Structure 1
């Protein structure tokens, strides 16, 4: 049993993470960042929940680049094959649920 105060979590580098759980190959990790990630496609599905801060999520749909603003409480679901990249606006804390070892 563990209680995690997500707003208190920081990391020594952008996208640093606290591993929370691994349930049958599906990982749940809390990330802290103040820098963009990189364009990528996960090995499987991904759930990206903003817990604190604001994140602009860029993604490609029908080969067109689009974006949406995610505020605390918002969730982005990337289905298999969804190319995307997260750009925080300042500091952000994000809960990511995905297949173990995914990008």
Structure 2
């Protein structure tokens, strides 16, 4: 058994992560960040759970940029082809479940 305290986790760089496990072809990672990620388009489904802090999830829908603030306990599900970028406010700890090798 393994226990992690998400609220205490920090990394040596933005979006640094600890790999928790792999389930079949999916990875489960705990990320810490204090800087935005990059705009990207999902090449596989992604579950994004804010555990600590807040994240402004910027996404494009029909060519228009939108923003949804995620706070602890809120979940974002991004499907294949969804274009988005996460902006921590001011820092966040996030559980991400996605296909191994996804960006």
For normalisation by structure 2, the TM-score amounts to 0.98
Deviation digits for residues 30-87 of structure 1, max 9, x if unmatched?
0000000000012200000000001000001111111110001110110110000000
Quote the residue 1:95 is aligned against. 95
Quote the residue 2:41 is aligned against. 41
Tell me, yes or no, if structure 1 residue 62 matches structure 2 residue 73. no
For normalisation by structure 1, the TM-score amounts to 0.98
Tell me, yes or no, if structure 1 residue 71 matches structure 2 residue 71. yes
Deviation digits for residues 17-36 of structure 1, max 9, x if unmatched?
00001111100000000000
**Aligned residues: CA RMSD:** 0.6
Partner-residue secondary structure (3-state), 1:11:
coil
Gapped regions of structure 1 (runs ≥ 5): none
Quote the residue 2:12 is aligned against. 12
C-alpha distance in 2, partners of 1:24/1:43? 17
C-alpha distance in 2, partners of 1:64/1:81? 15
